[in-house]
Amino acid sequence: MFELTLQALYSGLLTGTYYALVALGLALVFGTMKIINLAHGELVLLAAYVAYTAESQWSLNPLAAIPFAMVVVSVVAIAVYLLIDRIKKDRELNSLILTFGIGIILTNFVLLVWSADIRSTTTPWFQQAVVFGDLLFSSRSEILFFLISVALVGATWWWLSQTWYGRATRAVSSDRKAAMLMGVNPRQTEILSFVVASILATVAGIAIFTGQVIEPSLGHALTVKAFIITVLAGMGSIPGVLLGAILIGVVEALTVTYFSSSLQELTGMVLFLVVLLLRPQGLFGFGVRRG
């Protein structure tokens, strides 16, 4: 019993960190543009399938496919941005419909090109077990991407707080008009937030491809999860996103261990509803923010 719980906590921690990458991208774009990109999970999935093609067609190691996948995902993300940018009326609402549609198109594109079969890496290195003290089981991929994800979350935090572009991004998130009156070009920061979100999404996609399995419907599930995490975190707090993501990962792992894997996707939703009812400002948010 104790061992099972410990293992679930451990697995949840490892999964939660790459969830954080997905959620952080969603939150960044929400911050600068005040829109929810409902095709965000599909971008993650796209990166995974690019790595799959690179590996199966050109025998490229999935890690080596990362830069290539980043370019593909960024190009698609910028295209999404340009489409959203064309919406002149009720952008918050209409962008939901637009990005939902793009998500469906991307899912079907993936189905068409890569079929509905479940895929995973064929490079054995990633799947080899790493065991700590005969107690905690994981794969090399999970450990590797845990470290990369934590580093990337840290790098994103550093970027947002210490660099000029990051500060501009925060300024636009905080108050778009005030930022523009200071001379910040909001379009630049918006495109940048899409590109950073793409980079994070790509790494998450490769983490899933090497550590788990991918299939065309995964994108949608990831979007929902990222959205739940962002709301749990209380929109816009990076440590909150990381903690929220790990919380979801852990609760999912506990559900799978003690109930059933078929309930895994449900647990996030339940947690989400409970938090919305009891703490609408988010688990780690402090009051409702103005502006």
Partner 1 sequence: MLQLEDISVAFGGLAALSNVNLRVDNGEFVGLVGPNGAGKTTVFNVISGLVKPTAGNARFIAMDLLKQPIHARARAGIARTFQIPQPLHELTVRQNLIVAQKFGTGHSDPKRIDEILDFLGLTERAERNAANDLALTEHKALEVGKALATDPKLLLLDEALAGLETTGKRQFTQMIKQLHEETGLAIVIIEHDIETISELCQRAVVLDFGKVIADETPERIFRDPEVMRSYTGERSA
- Binding residues for partner 1, per CB under 8 A? 164, 167-168, 170-171, 174-175, 177-186, 289-291
- Tell the smallest beta-carbon distance from residue 15 to partner 1 (Å): 30
Beta-ladder partners of 119: 214
- Tell the smallest beta-carbon distance from residue 28 to partner 1 (Å): 15
- Tell the smallest beta-carbon distance from residue 84 to partner 1 (Å): 18
Closest CA relative to residue 257, chosen from 272, 267, 242, 270: 267
Whose tokens are 């005030």? That residue is 178
Q: Give me the DSSP letters along 68-115.
A: HHHHHHHHHHHHHHHHHHT--SSHHHHHHHHHHHHHHHHHHHHHHHH-
Kindly list the distances between the CA atom of residue 65 and the CA atoms of 173, 179, 206, 232, in Å, as whole numbers in the listed order. 32, 37, 9, 32
- Cα separation, 95 vs 84, in Å, equals 6
> What sections of 123-237 are H helices per DSSP?
124-127, 140-162, 164-174, 176-181, 186-211, 218-233
- Tell the smallest beta-carbon distance from residue 252 to partner 1 (Å): 31
Q: CB–CB of 43/198 below 8 Å?
A: yes
Q: Which is nearer to partner 1, 155 or 180 (CB)?
A: 180
- Tell the smallest beta-carbon distance from residue 290 to partner 1 (Å): 8
Q: Which is nearer to partner 1, 185 or 261 (CB)?
A: 185
Q: Which is nearer to partner 1, 185 or 260 (CB)?
A: 185
Q: Which is nearer to partner 1, 2 or 164 (CB)?
A: 164
Q: Which is nearer to partner 1, 24 or 39 (CB)?
A: 24
Q: Which is nearer to partner 1, 178 or 263 (CB)?
A: 178
- Tell the smallest beta-carbon distance from residue 33 to partner 1 (Å): 16
